[in-house]
Amino acid sequence: MNSDCERMKDQIADLVTGILSEAQVQEVELHLSECNVCRDYAQALKNEDALLTEFVADMDTDMTSRQERLLQTIDRSCQSKQIETLPIRRIIMKSPITKLVAAAVIIASVLIVASQFGGSGTSVAWGEVIGRLDASQGVIYRRTMTRSNRPGEDGYWTIYSCPTHSRTDQYKADQITDSLYCDYDAKTLVSIQHGRKSYFDHQLGEKAVREHQTEVAPKAWLQKFLSCEYRKLGQKIIDGVLCEGIETTDPALDESGSPVESALARLWVSVETGYPVRCEGSVVFEGDDGVRITAVLDKFQWDIELDPSEFEPKIPPDYKLMD
């Protein structure tokens, strides 16, 4: 290897990629006609270029066959004879073409792993979200709702829910105003009104129990969302969590029975856990008033074991039982 060979390395790579001027091409080809070492180097680069071209062209073909072909190509390269007069492998690995090939191989490896393991941790399997909710022992979350025709009534609810009980605490200005305890097995509903220092104790029918359970458990709303036509929103960081979102404008999401002028709802689910992180929606009803209702479900704590004491009504002794 001489100084001319060192000077020609980059030009040989440029020759293979087709970016040399005509005069430069003639100079490089003249050198190749006289130097066996550089001629072998040029041929090796052409082989690498052909491998990359074939790889890109076949990106949409079957992943298994592509993996096998790539491995066979690498195996053949390892078994080919080495050129003793020039450390060609070290030189090739410095070339722009080989760097592209190496990047392509890395991409292929990622795709192969993703195809074998189902892409876990990279995207949300929307068909499995409801199944995760069914497997959750219990959930705590916050629900916020505003109405355009009732200004000044903003507040939020903290809801504790499990398969046998629920508890709902209502807050205004961060002060608790009402609490609602429901025992699905005993079919009882205890409503505590802290502002009035009073409470109610009701016995519920089977239908009323199911309706209350549907209202406080997020599963029913999420099932309704996923049954609507929706579009994917891609990924976004919400409350420090990588999420993937979907959006619907299907008016069928609202079940109030009132005519709907427009509707918009978004659901964001954790890529890592598959549990919802944030649900948000707004509905505008038809009519001169055009009432808008906006709701947000967030602050979720999924799959937690709730202590039975969380569902025991805490009634101060000076509260009055109402009929």
For the stretch 187-196, pLDDT in tens is 999 999 999 9
Cα–Cα dist 60/52, whole Å:
14
Model confidence pLDDT, tens digit, residues 223-239: 888 888 899 999 999 99
Measured from the Cβ of residue 267, the count of other Cβ atoms closer than 10 Å reads: 26
> Can you give the pLDDT at residue 35?
86
* Other Cβ atoms within 10 Å of 142 Cβ, number: 16
pLDDT tens for 229-268 read 899 999 999 999 999 999 999 887 776 667 888 889 999 9
Q: Using 50, 70 and 90 to split pLDDT, how confident is the model at 94?
A: very low
d(Cα 146, Cα 309) in Å, to the nearest integer?
31
The Cα–Cα gap between 61 and 110 comes to 16
- Burial (CB < 10 A; 0-12, 13-18, 19+), residue 103, is exposed
pLDDT-above-90 percentage for the chain: 37
Which residue has 């990924």 as its token pair?
Answer: 235
> Which domains does the chain possess?
3-117 (no CATH), 126-321 (2.50.20.10)
Identify the burial level of 309 via C-beta atoms within 10 angstroms of its C-beta, where 0-12 means exposed, 13-18 middle and 19 or more buried.
exposed
Q: Under a CB-based contact definition with an 8 Å cutoff, are residues 55 and 104 in contact?
A: yes
* Side-by-side strand order, sheet with 165-172: 231-238, 241-248, 260-270, 276-285, 292-301, 139-147, 155-161, 165-172, 175-183, 188-193, 198-203, 320-321
Q: According to the model, what pLDDT value does residue 76 have?
A: 55
Burial, 127: exposed, middle or buried (Cβ in 10 Å; 0-12, 13-18, 19+)?
A: exposed
Instruction: Write the pLDDT tens digit of every residue in 71-91.
Output: 555 555 545 444 344 444 444
| CB contact at 8 A, 260 and 286 | yes
| Rounded average pLDDT over 55-61 | 52
Burial class (CB in 10 A: 0-12, 13-18, 19+), 313: middle
Q: Give the helix/strand (H/E) hosting 79.
A: helix 63-79
Spatial distance between the Cα atoms of 47 and 186, rounded to a whole number of angstroms: 76
Residue 172 CB neighbour total at 10 angstroms: 14
pLDDT band at 69 (very low <50, low <70, confident <90, very high): low
Neighbours of 277 (CB within 10 A): 24
**Under 8 Å between Cβ of 269 and 124:** yes
- Distance separating alpha carbons of residues 185 and 188, to the nearest angstrom: 8
Supply the pLDDT for residue 242.
95
